[in-house]
Chains A and B, each alone.
Chain A
Amino acid sequence: MLDLNHISFQAESENGEITIINDISLHLDSNKFIVITGPNGGGKSTLAKLIAGIEPITDGQIVFDGTDITNMNITERARLGIGFAFQQPVRFKGLTVLDLLRIAAGKNISVSEACEYLSEVGLCAKDYIRREVNASLSGGELKRIEIATILARDVRLAIFDEPEAGIDLWSFQNLIRIFEKMQQSENGRTILVISHQERILNIADEIIVLSEGKILRQGSRDEILPDIIGTKYASDVCRKLSEEA
């Protein structure tokens, strides 16, 4: 479904040009649940943004479902079926949750259809549907609405950048259920998640460890997970949350 051929990304910094993604090649199959983990600053979020076209690659080629999308912009890639859930969702003054879900669905979906997506992410739909996606929503509510916008699109490749960041324990468990349900789609959808969390790694078909802009390891869950469990690449969010509580 997705091929990254020798892609690199350099960015300007105070100390001159730095390489964030360094000659990565990667093949992702259809109908997989793939988790990218690795240390902070290792290039995980950047890699996700390069796939969605939010940042342009400096070198290499990206092929999606047989189409070279290297020079396509965000909109064109979105229309081909790439979805992206942001780590820190943006707020909009005036746009309602319903407006956003209708934009995501690409059509004037009914209120009851929109409500179904909200219920999926554990929000009581009637309380939220007319609300503005503005500062009155908490970070956790915003994050769930962000996930609902991906559900409202029938994407081939769904990318989630740290979906667990900012959500509570209850919705974390719900999130796992959403991923499992999303994978049951009939279009061979692949889900690509950036996460350190053991519970998400636990349901992965495949795990990629990214560090310093390069792929350190790539393989099936059974191959990779035992080696990284308990390290910072695979932490137990539930234990952490209960310790904090």
Chain B
Amino acid sequence: MAGQRSKWLWLLIVLLLPVYAQLHTGSWAQRAELRQSQSVGFLVPSQFSRVLACGYKGLLADYQFLRILTFFGDRSLNQQPPTAEDWDYFRDSIDVITDLDPWFYDPYVLTEGLLTWDAGRIEEANALLAKGVRYRTNDWRLPYYIGFNNFFFLKDHAAGAEYIMKAARLPGSPSYLPTLAARLAYYGGKSQTAVLFLKQMLAENSDERLARRLQLRLLALERAAQIEDALQCFRHDQQRDVVKLSELVSSGYLESLPEDPYGGRWGILKNGRVFSTSKFVEKKKTDVE
């Protein structure tokens, strides 16, 4: 009798398993859809999360950092460009993470990698990096990032030089930093500045997703710098500016006009800097198949 009953129970379990499997798949698919449609995640302000962490502030900071990495990783995977609201969420998250653990280096790297280049929120990035400078007093990289942002994005050479010099005085900083300030001031907002900076950032970074973005940008900037160099030679030899970029090819200063890896077309700004119509932003996939 007991054997009969356990047979029925086994049968019931076997029957229920496919139903469970179906519901499990459905539930995960629903969650994936929901996460994609959600514009931003929730965030507990640091005054509360510091209390709620119950002594595990470092661990909570790690978890929150993984969440923000996954959030932007999902966006990049689905080719969804982040909205202004997403960037607000990013900034606030980094603020909370660095309130929980202000010595944590990774959030500052991510801020420099995304909030400046992708979001164009230079002042906000500098404010977050300044928090890192206050705590990581022996780390030359954070003042170096702020210095670069001032040079390249804000065109504030005085502030930029001040930060780079500050970085140069800190232990472990590369020996080229003192002269770099002068070089950056010379190049100013030109692409070569960013090429130098991105190479250093890439050498520092081990996250594949961020590295891919940085490498693509580095390639685009190296090509822009190549065109800028050719432009400078042209101006030096011919004592005039080119009318169209194709002139560089026809007069032999470039073998061919390099392609913008972001798919845009090159143009020249009045200050001699080369720009691309893509603005170095990855295009969203429009073809739905």
Q: Do A and B bind each other?
A: no
Which chain A residues have a beta carbon within 8 Å of chain B's beta carbons? Answer: none
Which chain B residues have a beta carbon within 8 Å of chain A's beta carbons? Answer: none
